[in-house]
A and B are shown apart, each in its own frame.
Chain A
Amino acid sequence: MKSGILKYLVAGAVIFLAAGSDRAQTPPAGHATDFTSESYFEPPHEQQVKMRLSGAEASPLPGGLLEVKQLRVETFNTSGKSEAVVRAPLCTYAPLDGVASSAGHLELQTGDGKLHVEGDGFLWRQNESVLTISNHVVTTIAADIFSEKKSLP
């Protein structure tokens, strides 16, 4: 929490980064249903799940794209505590370009529930590490996030 709000705002974006990294496992190349994919931290926390990606359905699209339905991504810290959960009913992921996008809804919530972001239409650019939410962005921040900042001079 001390690292600031952006940590939580972008935590969901990290999942796409992780999904595209060498260390992560990507969903199956073919059609899959009710799949789950996990990636792990590097040593000495190699036994801890870093990111869990699941979906109701994953289908390959032309151009090497992957369409994921009912995407759910959860990130964890090294102690196993949930940091953020991202949900998107539909997402298109381009592994080679490191781009994930959707015209649909995106919802992100931190593990402690203190921050919630949602909007319609998103684009994650992995190379630039930028998450754009295109429409109707609503960020709800719990009051006690700010109370933690009161210790600032």
Chain B
Amino acid sequence: MRKIIFLLLAVAGGMVVAQTNVPPQNVPPHQPTVISSDSADFDLGTNRAIYRGHVLVVDPKVKMQCELLVVDLPTKGEHLQHVSAETNVVIDFMDEKGQPYHVTAALAVYAYGVVGSVTNETVTFTGKPRVESAESTILSEPLIWDRAANKFHFYNEQMYFKQNISGGGGTNGIPKLY
């Protein structure tokens, strides 16, 4: 299960941080990322792009929806430091086996900073984060992915395993319990 969550957050986090991860091998290259929204502000003074209303981000790996996407872009040579997706954040993706995952949260925030020789790079999901797969649902409040350490931190997590109600998973048609 931890592996599943790892994969999930790796993809979801990769979305938030503007795809710094290497795409899976089965994804055709050169597919563009498309961001659509009702409106957008591009601020030269603060180097901030704000997408508002029915924000939809689609790329070959993942689809993300939210109501507000704020990207603080770096100046020349600097690292991307802050991205937030707010309000009704929904992320859908498939793992390398084609298994679909569905993540919801009120807020997803990517943050990067260096203090001394320590690099902090995290994606924090808050607002009732929920991860759904075909097999289970996991709740954690908050859910923090420490990208620098490549570790995931769960708080007050709750895990629910689903029944295979289709009955097609076994040879005798009996719903399979996990």
Contact = CB atoms under 8 A, between A and B. Distances in A.
Q: Kindly name the residue among B42, B60, B74 whose own CB sees the greatest number of chain A CB atoms within 10 A.
A: B42
Interface in A111-134: 119, 128-134
Contact of A140 (B29, B32, B49): B32
A34 B48 CA distance: 35
B119 interface: yes
Interface in B1-35: 18-20, 22, 29-35
B40 interface: yes
A31 to B, nearest CB: 32
Contacts of B30: 142-144
Contacts of A132: 39-42
A129 B32 contact: no
A149 interface: yes
B42 A13 contact: yes
B79 A153 contact: yes
Bin the interface of chain A by size.
Answer: 20 to 34
Contacts of B44: 6, 10, 13-14, 17, 129-131
Given A149-B18, A149-B20, A153-B119, A137 B43 contact: no
Contacts of B32: 140-143
A4 B33 contact: no
A129 B39 CA distance: 17
Interface string B47-81: 11101000000011000000000010111110110
Interface of A: 2-7, 9-10, 13-14, 17, 119, 128-144, 146, 149-150, 152-153
Nearest 7 CB-CB pairs, A to B? Answer: A129-B44, A6-B73, A4-B73, A3-B76, A139-B35, A146-B19, A137-B40
10 contacts: A3-B75, A4-B47, A130-B42, A131-B44, A132-B40, A133-B40, A135-B38, A136-B36, A138-B36, A142-B32
